[in-house]
């Protein structure tokens, strides 16, 4: 009898142990499923973020740290050549030269450091344009694509007001625009660049246009810039129109160089606020937001000075390129749904390797051998401003029908 009871106790203990182990296995299984679902959700989120940046898997299934950016559309007006420079559409900057790259398109030129396309009547239309990076083993590292639009040259007259910094203060831009349009643009503003009116101020950042900032770098001097309404204490587009009498058909907004930082948020948000303030008062007014330019090479950055004092003494090319790239992508992402806003990709379409004026200097103090060194880190020569004009003009040609009907 005792043996039977002992066997019964053992069987009950065995069953209990089995039940406990089964429950533990079920619990662990549920944990594993939940963990796997959470991991898959994180992976899916990461993939979406990387895909949005144009970063893809290579052949080993690993993501690279390369970020690429191309806008949704690139416009090329007939009679104009637009070029997109490899180093200026990537977070790699000049390090792009360590990779193998190619442009794929039915038209244009797939060149060593750029894609080049000249608009002609015969080529008017839309074409897929793809940029791909490969490593030395032929594995795809990253890719990005856009829609290339070759559009007819513009024949219409319109008025334009430019809000900008010193990059909007060169006559070459406006002379080139006049050449392209047959002098049909009516320029507006309280200041002048050559024979063209603007609201461009040297040294100004977007923050300066949002605050009660004066201007004394050029005559006429200003106690407060004209977009600031002292009664409301803010940027006020309606106030500007009422006090100046200017009411343009479109705005060119060209800011960003002053205020550049590794984190684009503050500078970018100030530019975004100007866009929002204008559209709050004038929602149908088209704004052409011009991306700021990449700087000169390291020699230009390091040697730029004022009476011997270094202007960019602690800066270097790669970090400065990163600042421009991330401001561009931040503005594009944040303002992607803004109506009546058009991006002008001047930053990626300006030949920063060759457009800065240079001076010949000895390669060292005792050498007769000379080398060309940029005389300015930020402001290009005439060719750079003409490329900006070509880019702006092409975007206007491709989009003006949307707001001029």
Crossing angle of helices 265-281 and 237-244, in 10° steps, is 60
Burial 42-66 (b: 16+ CB within 10 A, else e): eeeeeeeebeebbbbebeeeeebeb
Q: What is the distance in angstroms between the CA of the first residue and the CA of the last residue of the chain?
A: 104
Q: How far apart are CA 219 and CA 21, in angstroms?
A: 86
Q: Domains in the chain, ordered, with CATH?
A: 73-151 (2.60.40.10), 158-402 (3.40.50.1110)
Phi, psi of 313 (to 5 degrees): -60, -30
Rounded distance between C-alpha atoms, residue 11 and residue 365, angstroms: 97
Question: Per-residue pLDDT for the chain (405 aa), expressed as one digit of tens each?
Answer: 455 555 565 566 666 666 666 766 676 666 555 555 665 665 565 555 545 544 444 444 444 578 999 999 999 999 999 999 999 999 889 988 889 999 999 999 999 999 999 999 999 999 999 999 998 888 898 999 999 999 999 989 999 999 999 999 999 999 999 999 999 999 999 999 988 999 999 999 999 999 999 999 999 999 999 999 999 999 999 999 999 999 999 999 999 999 999 999 999 999 999 999 999 999 999 999 999 999 999 999 999 888 888 888 889 999 999 999 999 999 999 999 999 999 999 999 999 999 999 999 999 999 999 999 999 999 999 999 999 999 999 999 999 999 987
């Amino acid at each position: 009898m005792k043996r039977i009871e002992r066997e019964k106790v053992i069987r009950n203990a065995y069953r209990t142990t089995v039940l406990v182990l089964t429950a533990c296995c079920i619990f662990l299984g549920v944990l594993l499923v939940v963990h796997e679902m959470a991991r898959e959700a994180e992976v899916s989120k990461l993939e979406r973020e990387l895909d949005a940046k144009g970063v893809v898997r290579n052949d080993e299934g690993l993501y690279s740290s390369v970020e690429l950016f191309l806008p949704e559309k690139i416009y090329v007006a007939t009679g104009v050549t637009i070029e997109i420079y490899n180093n200026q559409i990537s977070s790699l900057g000049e390090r792009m030269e360590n990779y193998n790259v190619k442009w794929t398109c039915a038209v244009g030129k797939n060149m060593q450091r750029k894609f080049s396309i000249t608009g002609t009547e015969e080529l008017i239309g839309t074409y897929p344009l793809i940029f791909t990076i490969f490593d030395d083993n032929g594995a795809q590292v990253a890719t990005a694509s856009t829609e290339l639009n070759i559009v007819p040259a513009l024949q219409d007259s319109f008025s334009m007001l430019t809000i900008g910094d010193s990059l909007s203060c060169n006559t070459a831009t406006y002379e080139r625009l006049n050449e392209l349009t047959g002098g049909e643009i009516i320029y507006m503003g309280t200041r002048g660049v050559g024979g063209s009116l603007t609201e461009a101020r040297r040294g100004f950042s977007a923050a300066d246009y949002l605050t009660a900032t004066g201007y004394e770098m050029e005559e006429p001097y200003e106690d407060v810039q004209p977009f600031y309404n002292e009664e409301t204490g803010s940027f006020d587009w309606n106030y500007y129109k009422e006090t100046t009498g200017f009411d343009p058909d479109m705005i060119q907004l060209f800011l960003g160089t002053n205020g550049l930082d590794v984190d684009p948020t503050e500078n970018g948000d100030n530019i975004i606020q100007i866009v929002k303030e204008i559209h709050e008062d004038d929602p149908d007014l088209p704004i052409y937001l011009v991306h700021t330019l990449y700087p000169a090479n390291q020699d230009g950055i390091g040697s730029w000075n004022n009476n011997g004092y270094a202007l960019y003494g602690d800066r270097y090319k790669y970090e400065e390129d990163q600042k421009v790239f991330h401001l561009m992508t931040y503005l594009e992402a944040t303002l992607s749904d803004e109506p009546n806003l058009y991006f002008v990709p001047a930053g990626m379409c300006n030949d920063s390797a060759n457009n800065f004026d240079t001076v010949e200097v000895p390669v060292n103090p005792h050498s007769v051998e000379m080398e060309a060194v940029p005389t300015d880190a930020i402001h290009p020569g005439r060719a750079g401003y003409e490329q900006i004009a070509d880019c702006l003009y092409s975007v206007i040609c491709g989009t003006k029908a949307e707001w001029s009907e």
